[in-house]
Each structure stands twice: as structure tokens, then as C-alpha cells.
């Protein structure tokens, strides 16, 4: 895998139209979780045993940056917190699914730029299209 700069990763909130790119994003984080199913019993001699399939899969996204758009704040306040989100890597890999905008934080320091942080939680199936796959 080739290295690339974090600023080359893009985040979209909504459909594929250009206005759905959130301006000012500096950091993007992707957390993949698969909650295990514990099937430990007395037969396991005190060792934990997990089922090979997860009970629940989830993807959490965290983004932060300099506030240049009111889109996420407006959507949160208006109750429009459910939309498609897409993370695209410069190598062409793409993660897409429906997400719930769970948190939005905005901070305005006395002598600095106003910044924001947002957390999004997957709802339903999230797909990953690796490099070279049809999008």
C-alpha cells in the first residue's frame, strides 16, 4: 500500500453532489467494530470462547477541522441527522453507508479559528469498495 497524506482522504455527507463535501475537515477517523458473542461455558476450563461471527458490526466515523460550513451544525439542530456518508481514500478505496450524526461540537478559542468535531454512527450495512473495484 502506498503512503499518502491525510488531507487526500475525502469525507462526504449526503449524496454525491459537490455541495455535500464538508469544507474545513482536517482529520478523519474510521473505527470498525465487531462485537463478539461470548459462548464460554464450564467445558472451556476457564478460558473465554468467542463465536467466530460477530453479534453486531458497526462503523464509527469521527471528523474534525476548521469551521467553514454550517452544514453539520444545521443538520444536527434541524433533526436531519441521518444521511449517507462516504470516506474516499486517494488510492480509490471507498467506504459508504447510512450514518447517524450523533455528536457535533464547536469551539471558538479567543485567538484562534473556530473548530468543530463530529461523530457519526453507522446504521445498516456499510460497504467498502477496494482499489480497482467498480464504485
Q: Does 134 map to a domain? A: no
3-state secondary structure of 8: helix
Range of the domain at 114: 8-40+48-129
Q: Which of 31, 86, 92 is nearest to 62 (CA)?
A: 31
Q: Does 20 map to a domain? A: yes
Q: Does 135 map to a domain? A: no
Stronger pLDDT, 5 or 94, i.e. the higher one: 94
Q: Does 118 map to a domain? A: yes
End-to-end CA distance of the chain: 19
Q: Does 26 map to a domain? A: yes
**The pLDDT of residue 134:** 53
Q: Which band of pLDDT confidence, cut at 50, 70 and 90, is reported for residue 16? A: low
> What Cα–Cα distance (Å) separates residue 68 from each residue in 22, 32, 36, 46?
8, 28, 40, 54
pLDDT tens for 78-131 read 999 999 999 999 998 999 999 999 999 999 888 888 999 999 999 999 999 988
If phi > 0 it is left, if psi is from -120 to 50 it is alpha, else beta; for residue 74 that is alpha
Q: Does 3 map to a domain? A: no
CATH classification of the domain holding 69: 2.30.110.20
Share of the chain above pLDDT 70, in %: 93
Amino acid at each position: 500500500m502506498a503512503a499518502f497524506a491525510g488531507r487526500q482522504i475525502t469525507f462526504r455527507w449526503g449524496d454525491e453532489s459537490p455541495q455535500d463535501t464538508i469544507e474545513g475537515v482536517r482529520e478523519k477517523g474510521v473505527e470498525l467494530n465487531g462485537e463478539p458473542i461470548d459462548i464460554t461455558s464450564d467445558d472451556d476450563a476457564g478460558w473465554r470462547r468467542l463465536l467466530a461471527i460477530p453479534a453486531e458490526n458497526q462503523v464509527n466515523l469521527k471528523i474534525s477541522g476548521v469551521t467553514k460550513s454550517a452544514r453539520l451544525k444545521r443538520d444536527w439542530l434541524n433533526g436531519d441527522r441521518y444521511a449517507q456518508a462516504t470516506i474516499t481514500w486517494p488510492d480509490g478505496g471507498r467506504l459508504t453507508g447510512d450514518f447517524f450524526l450523533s455528536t457535533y461540537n464547536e469551539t471558538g478559542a479567543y485567538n484562534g479559528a473556530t473548530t468543530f468535531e463530529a461523530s457519526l454512527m453507522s446504521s445498516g450495512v456499510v460497504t467498502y469498495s477496494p482499489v480497482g473495484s467498480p464504485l
